[in-house]
Structure 1
Amino acid sequence: MIHLPNLIADLGLLLGAAAVITLIFKYLKQPVVLGYLIAGFLVGPHFKLFPTIVEQDNVQVWAEIGVVFLLFSLGLEFSFKKLMKVGGSASISAMSEIVIMLAIGYFTGQMFGWSKMDSIFLGAILSVSSTTIIIRAFEEVGVKGQKFASLVFGVLIVEDLATIVLLVILSTLAVSQHFAGAEMMFSVMKLVFFLTLWFIGGIFFIPTLLKRIKPMLSDEMLLIISLSLCLLMVYLASEAGFSPALGAFIMGSILAETNQGIKIEHLVTPIKDLFGAVFFVSVGMMIDPTVLQEYWAPVLIIIVITIVGKLFSSGLGALISGQPLKTSIQTGLSLAQIGEFSFIIATLGATLDVTSAFLYPITVAVSAITTFTTPYMIKLSFPLANKIVAALPKRWRENLDKYSSATQSVSATTNWQTFLKKYIINTVVYLIFSIALIILSTNYLYPFLQEQSEGAAWGIIATIAITIAGLSPFLYALGFRNLYDENAQKLLNHKIYRNIIYVMRILRYVLAVGLIIVVLNNLLSFQAAIIAFLVICVCLIIFGDQIKKNYIKIEERFLTNFKSNVEDIEIPVLAPWDAHFTEITVKPESLAVGKTLEELKWREKSGINVASISRGELNIHLPARDTVIYPGDKLYIIGTDTQIKKINSLLRPEKNVKETDNLYKPSLERIIVNKDSYLYGKSLKESDIRNYADGIVVGIERNGHRIVNPESNWVFEENDLVWIVGDHKKIITTLR
């Protein structure tokens, strides 16, 4: 309890400073994240004018918790299904940005005379953009529905996943202090192993768990369960040798695949905002003016490199992937900043003590300035893109348009590509789960049974029986599951493909046999292993039908859970034209609610077409003219940026309606009727109180008798006491 007073005082000072500064930044229409950084600087050890945080170690612990919840929240927004939908353009743009900025950052550090580790970490810091800052900037500028915005969101999704891989590589590199290809490859393979194991295992168990306990779930219980699962995965990731942030991100992405994903994201938001604020404020506390004064030239150079380099790298990637030049330029300028992941990378270098002390404050300074410039860069992207496109020779523009159209046209996937993709995915997944079971059996099950049996033979036999029983569905999938669908069967008619497929099938048999041998080799002598192998083969044949049924149940459970939250709506991009698909959610106060598409006449008024409507679990494809719009409907519409902007204005409530709703506060009022009253001598229907006074009569007292909800033919008399629910001001001014 000794540190409790300082702990509370520090937290109060930290949050108080954040509240005041962010209110100022909100008023100035600047990013809130920038306000957090400034607040951290003001209460940090390098600024003495205001009170300073006393227990900085406590703040650092809160900041680490903030990173966990920030990554957990990003995982909830991530979703692997979103990654599968972003397409090649987003992937190529993201990888182009990461690779080019890694190289630029490294050579920039070397140019400054920094160490190799400082240069490598600088490249990693500059290679990722800020999801939080871009989303907020898009909301402030009002461009979320435009064509390039959907590409930027896709790039951010790919970047988030790539950064997780980058963190693992940097951790390995920092520990070894040199680039070891084999060691690096092992780390990446280890990451892929655990990612596959956690993701598929999580999708198999967690959605089922949430479905089973759904009748008992309250918001409080769902929040507690979600946070406990998050922290459990954080622990598992740490035990596996990864960063806690990775575990939080993975659990968030798993929960995002459940039907409760959106609700969990909503429940976690306040916690993420609280600890996220602590994290960003703690980052601001690291700003050292003396370091910035010494390194002002590198800071300015890195800022210019960040903006120009990201415009070039991500814009080039978008252009290569087939996006129009205008969209590519807008994408590049939107991504021209660094943010939360850059802080995490810089923190990793400082924690592992492999980077110099100046790198962290330089990162903060560059992030703060590029955060400030991001909204202006997004606004600048429109006139700049138009000017560049207009300045190009006509022939160049035509060639770029032809390339864009040709690149984005649908290319047919061959039967061989489909079969090969299916073969590799299935084989890798089954191998990973089989290896995981063998590791668990060797390291945990066998020692436990040996201890219980005191070294008796039955302990070994039980270990083998349990392990093979657990492996049996995967052994069936590897050795006997038919991967030959209708398209793959056509390949067997070609001699070359037929021979390759036979070899690939034999390879799966070999893998299945190899797994059994690995289990037996760890526990038995050579002679005993041969006998046990024959017995196992016979048992697998005898119980083959039951094993097949078990595998089918496992596969159906996984597919059901995985597809339970899938939106079957594709949102393609039409290139090189400006028309594209976008998603708009109808707000409850929108004037479109309750009207049919025929009444709204959106096509005539704005030129857009509604291709699909998503309403909860219901998807209405190509809605008819009499389809009614409801609150919360997700409209998938096609149109140009100008047309989409116009439909947004049509869906937006009128300003006076919003103001009236905000000012309206219903109250229970009491009116006494006299001979001069508006109500005297009128029936309830004739008085039309609902429209005249914006109220509803809920009760009347006459001569000590009370009448609740009187009939419409009730006539008001003198001394009647009338109870009315409505607007206080309007009732007083009109009825008294």
Structure 2
Amino acid sequence: MHSAVFLIEFGTVVLALGLLGRFAVRLKFSPIPLYLLAGLVFGHGGVVPLGGSEEFIEVGAEIGVVLLLLMLGLEYTAGDLVGHLKTHAPAGAVDFALNAVPGAAAALLLGWGPVAAVVLAGVTWVSSSGVIAKVLGDLGRLGNRETPAILSVLVLEDLAMAVYLPILTALLAGAGLVAGGLTLAIALAAVGTVLLVAVRYGRVISRFISSDDPEKLLLVVLGLTLLVAGFAQQVQVSAAVGAFLVGIALSGEVAENTHHLLMPLRDLFAAVFFVFFGLSTDPATIPPVLLPALVLAVLTTLTKIATGYWAAKRAGIGVRGRWRAGGALVARGEFSIVIAGLAVTAGVEPGLGPLATAYVLLLVVIGPLTARFTEPVARRVMNRREARAASTPASDTSVPVARTEAGAREPESDDVPVGSV
């Protein structure tokens, strides 16, 4: 009887996710908010609470986090990460200062304590690479001049997670100063070792794992990832970091083939993860934190726009491209939920999960809108200011030529793809 209930419940959840995903595709929107809402519907206090399949969904959610980080690691080579770290470190520092600090300050103002402050700082800091990549593709901006500046910020955030997550895991486990320092040292040593090995011996590792049989390749990579993630979790480094490092270590044809093989599994278990996070959140707890979430969403929307603008300006991008870069970085999503999920599991603060849910729901909807409309709105505002300045008698009616940091005339078509010039 229990088996039948499990199959019915889990089948209903998966079917609902599939239908919601199709609905999101038709709207050209991220399905993440719909998955979270589905979790709220099926969770405790929801319309149709689950019973028999909740434990399995919890395990699936853990696998979803591991696969999300593995696929992220597959996107980069060790050389790419080292190069980005050397070149774009200032942009990463500005991103952290403008977007992590508001989250930490909000947690302290709400009286949640320093551990919750570290958690909420991560929630507000990290943009959603998945949502942003999809939005840029939908808008036809993947080849734009400002896109490398956007990607540099995202890459630095992803790399920072390899350091941030072990720190967070140690804090959530209640580790003291010595134990926490040891955990961080282990994490940094692991990251450094993997990067070094991947740079020097990445091709050898990839050849060893490579297989012409997709089934064997899938089993080897998935088994290795889960094994490394489990050992990482055992030493409190974070399973997510372990999976991320496995992805970095693979390169070339193996990484590409693994990416194609694991993408359907990643999408399935990631959807289950978002549902599980919604399951663990009582809908009745969201209204009390809706106002703080809205204030935090508005504030960090402005700070993300400022981050993208600064990063694009530093890269020599024109004014229009700077605004587009800022608007594109606003969306939060999978990593914010991963970070909040760790805190919810550890029982840090009851209001943290609902606040993170409301915050992500807001920004995963606002993000695509800011990506589309930030630059046109900024352009209209600037045109109106120029018109007002030109209409005043004391003003100089000549319009200055916009110049880049190098002093050269700024190209009028800074939205032209790099490959077309």
TM-score, length of structure 2 as denominator length = 0.86
Distance in structure 2 (CA, Å) of the matches to 1:47 and 1:70: 27
Contact 1:405 1:576 in 2 (8 A): no
Contact 1:18 1:277 in 2 (8 A): yes
Contact 1:89 1:322 in 2 (8 A): no
Q: SS of the counterpart of 1:78?
A: coil
> Higher helix fraction: Structure 1 or Structure 2?
2
Q: SS of the counterpart of 1:143?
A: coil
Q: SS of the counterpart of 2:188?
A: helix
Higher RCO (CA-CA < 8 Å; seq separation 6+): 2
| Pair 158,112 (structure 1): closer, same or farther in 2 beyond 3 Å | same
Which among 344, 350, 369 is matched to residue 350 of structure 1?
344
> Higher strand fraction: Structure 1 or Structure 2?
1
Residues 359-398 of structure 1 show CA distances to partners (whole Å, capped at 9, x for unaligned) of 1121111111211122211111221342355447899x97
1:231 maps to what in 2? 226
Sequence identity, in percent?
24
Q: CA deviation at 1:219?
A: 1.4
2:336 matches 1:334: no
1:220 maps to what in 2? 215
Contact 2:40 2:46 in 1 (8 A): yes
| Pair 381,88 (structure 1): closer, same or farther in 2 beyond 3 Å | farther
Distance in structure 2 (CA, Å) of the matches to 1:37 and 1:71: 19
What is the correspondence of 1:215-364 to structure 2 with a 5 Å cutoff? 217-255=212-250, 257-320=251-314, 322-353=316-347, 355-364=348-357
Unpaired segments of 5 or more residues in structure 1?
410-573, 583-635, 640-736
2:394 matches 1:637: no
Aligned residues: 411
2:379 maps to what in 1? 386
Distance in structure 1 (CA, Å) of the matches to 2:369 and 2:376: 12
Q: CA deviation at 1:206?
A: 6.0
| Pair 16,105 (structure 1): closer, same or farther in 2 beyond 3 Å | same
| Pair 143,323 (structure 1): closer, same or farther in 2 beyond 3 Å | closer
Distance in structure 2 (CA, Å) of the matches to 1:220 and 1:246: 25
Which among 192, 196, 201 is matched to residue 192 of structure 2?
196
What is the correspondence of 1:556-575 to structure 2 with a 5 Å cutoff? none
| Pair 210,294 (structure 1): closer, same or farther in 2 beyond 3 Å | closer
Which among 171, 174, 190 is matched to residue 173 of structure 1?
171
2:7 maps to what in 1? 8
Distance in structure 2 (CA, Å) of the matches to 1:283 and 1:51: 14
| Pair 262,11 (structure 1): closer, same or farther in 2 beyond 3 Å | same
Distance in structure 2 (CA, Å) of the matches to 1:90 and 1:381: 24
Q: SS of the counterpart of 1:117?
A: helix
Contact 1:70 1:272 in 2 (8 A): yes
2:80 maps to what in 1? 82
Q: CA deviation at 1:175?
A: 4.2
| Pair 576,98 (structure 1): closer, same or farther in 2 beyond 3 Å | farther
Contact 1:44 1:52 in 2 (8 A): yes
| Pair 279,373 (structure 1): closer, same or farther in 2 beyond 3 Å | same
| Pair 209,144 (structure 1): closer, same or farther in 2 beyond 3 Å | closer
What is the letter of the counterpart of residue 214 of structure 2?
A: D
Residues 533-553 of structure 1 show CA distances to partners (whole Å, capped at 9, x for unaligned) of xxxxxxxxxxxxxxxxxxxxx
| Pair 10,94 (structure 1): closer, same or farther in 2 beyond 3 Å | farther
Q: SS of the counterpart of 1:129?
A: coil
Q: CA deviation at 1:229?
A: 2.1
Distance in structure 1 (CA, Å) of the matches to 2:2 and 2:194: 39
| Pair 115,384 (structure 1): closer, same or farther in 2 beyond 3 Å | same
What is the letter of the counterpart of residue 278 of structure 2?
A: G
Q: CA deviation at 1:246?
A: 0.7
Q: CA deviation at 1:88?
A: 6.5
Residues 280-319 of structure 1 show CA distances to partners (whole Å, capped at 9, x for unaligned) of 2222323432111222221221221221222234433443
TM-score, length of structure 1 as denominator length = 0.51
1:31 maps to what in 2? 30
1:61 maps to what in 2? 59
CA RMSD, 1 decimal: 3.1
| Pair 210,106 (structure 1): closer, same or farther in 2 beyond 3 Å | closer
What is the letter of the counterpart of residue 220 of structure 2?
A: I
| Pair 169,243 (structure 1): closer, same or farther in 2 beyond 3 Å | same
What is the letter of the counterpart of residue 44 of structure 2?
A: P
1:606 maps to what in 2? none
| Pair 175,357 (structure 1): closer, same or farther in 2 beyond 3 Å | same
1:73 maps to what in 2? 71
What is the letter of the counterpart of residue 31 of structure 1?
A: S
Contact 1:41 1:47 in 2 (8 A): yes
| Pair 112,34 (structure 1): closer, same or farther in 2 beyond 3 Å | same
Query: Structure 1 residues 245-254 or 37-46, which shifts more?
Result: 37-46
1:134 maps to what in 2? 132
Q: CA deviation at 1:156?
A: 0.9
Residues 416-463 of structure 1 show CA distances to partners (whole Å, capped at 9, x for unaligned) of xxxxxxxxxxxxxxxxxxxxxxxxxxxxxxxxxxxxxxxxxxxxxxxx
Contact 1:580 1:638 in 2 (8 A): no
Contact 2:145 2:317 in 1 (8 A): no
Query: Structure 1 residues 381-390 or 269-278, which shifts more?
Result: 381-390
2:403 matches 1:401: yes
Distance in structure 2 (CA, Å) of the matches to 1:172 and 1:79: 27
| Pair 190,379 (structure 1): closer, same or farther in 2 beyond 3 Å | same
Q: CA deviation at 1:15?
A: 0.3
Distance in structure 2 (CA, Å) of the matches to 1:51 and 1:308: 37
Q: SS of the counterpart of 1:356?
A: coil
1:371 maps to what in 2? 364
| Pair 115,576 (structure 1): closer, same or farther in 2 beyond 3 Å | farther
Contact 1:18 1:40 in 2 (8 A): no
Distance in structure 2 (CA, Å) of the matches to 1:274 and 1:133: 16
Q: CA deviation at 1:187?
A: 4.3
Distance in structure 2 (CA, Å) of the matches to 1:65 and 1:7: 19
Contact 2:146 2:317 in 1 (8 A): no
Q: CA deviation at 1:342?
A: 0.9
Distance in structure 2 (CA, Å) of the matches to 1:113 and 1:22: 38
What is the letter of the counterpart of residue 280 of structure 1?
A: F
Report the structure number with the largest CA radius of gyration: 1
Q: SS of the counterpart of 2:146?
A: helix
Contact 1:89 1:318 in 2 (8 A): no
Unpaired segments of 5 or more residues in structure 2?
390-395
